[in-house]
Amino acid sequence: MDRKIFEFALGFEKEGTSFYLDLASGTDNPLSKTLFYTLARQEIDHAERIEKFYSGVFSGNVLDVSERNLVEKEVKSFFDQFKAKRIPAENNLDIYKNAMDLEKKGYAAYSKFYNESKDENEKVFLKFLMKEEKNHLDSISNVYSYLSGTSDWLEKEESKVWNWMNI
């Protein structure tokens, strides 16, 4: 992996970890806490995979996406526990907008590196990171739409929303 890409990617994932930990600790909303702590754990996993890829320990398990739906699993588990209770409103929805902006920034950077790369292994890895950023963006967008009560959440295509959130 190109040193420039490695430094950006590792720095970006570290920044994301800190960002999500700060968001999680700064909110009282249990749904927001669940989402942001889960995203922080995934950013740590991404940093570890980036380190392994860069150091040449590239193998199939570096790109194993079996936990790709971890965010949805964690949030769904939260919902299953709180079905009978009312989930409180999030007082600061701007944190979701900032989180979506961060994920868009990551996707755009990885996409740019992907388009510039000549190395096939690097391209495979960058495509993996792009998919992860997209998954995070979708996760944040789903919870944001749910908490903000926007009617367009229910109008979105079922494949793009977590329809089990409609309790």
Confidence of residue 161 (pLDDT cuts 50, 70, 90): low
If one counts every other C-beta atom within 10 angstroms of the C-beta of residue 24, the result is 19
Residue 166 has pLDDT above 70, yes or no: no
Residue 148 has pLDDT above 90, yes or no: no
How distant, in Å, are the alpha carbons of 87, 138, 152, 153 from that of 68?
25, 12, 25, 22
| 3-state secondary structure labels for all residues of 1-64 | CCHHHHHHHHHHHHHHHHHHHHHHHCCCCHHHHHHHHHHHHHHHHHHHHHHHHHCCCCCHHHHC
- Contact criterion met (CB below 8 Å) for 135 and 103: no
Domains of the chain: 3-58+69-81+91-165 (1.20.1260.10)
What's the pLDDT score for residue 143? 87
Lowest mean pLDDT among 15-24, 37-46, 55-64, 146-155: 55-64
